[in-house]
Homo-oligomer: A and B are copies of this chain.
Amino acid sequence: MKKAGNCDLNTCFLCQYSIPEWIAAVSDHRQHLFFKKNETIFQEGSPVKGIFFLYDGKVKVHKQWGPDKELIVRFAQQGDILGHRGLGSGERLYTVSATAIEDTTVCYTELAFFEASLKVNPSLSLKLMQFYADELQEAERKMRNLVHMDVKSRLADALLELSRLHKALHFTISRQDLASFSGTTYETIYRNLQEFIAEKLITVEGRAITILSEKKLRKYIA
């Protein structure tokens, strides 16, 4: 991790929903950080010192289980806030890890500054609250899916979610990450991908996946 070039003060969650007068303060208090692919941005269990905003790149937000198992709870996109789970009432420890899955630039602000920003910018608070509500809904939907849907349906859901995030029918992801995101194992993902390929719902070249029929994929979810 090293410092990186400046962000445009216009892209991230913080800048987008702060009043114009506050942007100068943001500019003073932000810090740019660069993470290479596979570098850890923050680690589950370590103390929360600040909040991150993804300026460029891709990040997976995940929970560890033992030495070699994980669950990916979210893929963060440009502009997204990272580390906000630490704002809860308990001890201030990150409850998830964040890892760059490609070279990534983030803006960082100390917790105190972010909390000041919330006080100064009502619409930032409001948006953050909405964001929490949305994430909570999504987490609970996923919980229900884990309990009641089979792997193939969860994989279909994951593929559609990834397509939505990338705003494209084509995207790149490792099978391992796809497994961790679908709440299953590599082997099971491998087999189910084969099935989707055979059914001509997707094509796969290495890590690149292309959705051929969003519609048919969606049928697996309902």
Contact = CB atoms under 8 A, between A and B. Distances in A.
Given A125-B129, A128-B129, A137 B85 contact: yes
B132 A136 contact: yes
A133 B88 contact: yes
A161 to B, nearest CB: 14
Secondary structure at chain A's binding surface: helix, strand, loop or mixed? Answer: helix
A1 interface: no
Interface size class of A (residues with CB under 8 A): 35 or more
A174 to B, nearest CB: 18
A199 interface: no
Interface in A135-149: 135-137, 139-144, 146-148
A84 interface: yes
A137 B71 contact: no
A84 B143 contact: no
Interface string A100-134: 00000000000000000011001001101111111
A5 interface: no
